[in-house]
Amino acid sequence: MFKASSLASLHLPLTPFFISTLLNEIVKLSEVHPKANLLEIKWFDGSTTTLVPIPNSKNKPSFYCNLLRKKWVDKIPECIFPDDKSAAVEWLLYELGKKYKDEFVVTSKKLGYPLLGKKMNEIAAVEEKWLVKE
């Protein structure tokens, strides 16, 4: 069993099963009342964290079914940086690209944005920056 000061006073059995059941009910309530922001946590320092339920997928078709049904991908940019969703998407893609380089290149090609097979060296990157005006 887990100990949590706020919940301990309620004398509830804080077992993994009970906590999972409680979370399940909170997620269901959040779907029924989306404007209530039930999955938004306000911390004592004033910051906020938003929980995004991401369903597991057993294969590619179930992944796409989950995307359409739950629309969890649409929620992520707003959770990262509510003031500028485009910036949030850019930051997320950048970090995913750094972490999963090969998959990033393959996916870019599938989307019709062919990339170099390997990363530019520093000299080529500097030359490219001078050629392309921002």
The sign of the CA dihedral 83, 89, 95, 96 is positive
DSSP string, 27-80: HHHHHH-GGG-TTEEE-TTS-EEE-------SSHHHHHHHHHHH-HHHHHHHHH
Cα–Cα distance between 103 and 97 in angstroms, integer? 8
Q: What is the pTM of this model?
A: 0.70
State yes or no: pLDDT of 131 exceeds 70: no
The sign of the CA dihedral 83, 86, 92, 98 is negative
For residue 2, give every residue at least 6 positions away whose Cβ sits within 8 Å of its Cβ, in sequence order, or none.
14, 15, 16, 19
Where do the domains of the chain lie?
1-51
Contact indicator for 50, 39 with CB cutoff of 8 Å: yes
Tens-digit pLDDT profile for residues 49-66: 999 999 999 999 999 999
Tens-digit pLDDT profile for residues 78-98: 999 999 999 999 999 999 999
Q: What is the pLDDT of residue 134?
A: 46
Cα–Cα distance between 124 and 113 in angstroms, integer? 19
Q: Which residues does residue 48 pair with via DSSP β-bridges, in sequence order?
A: 42
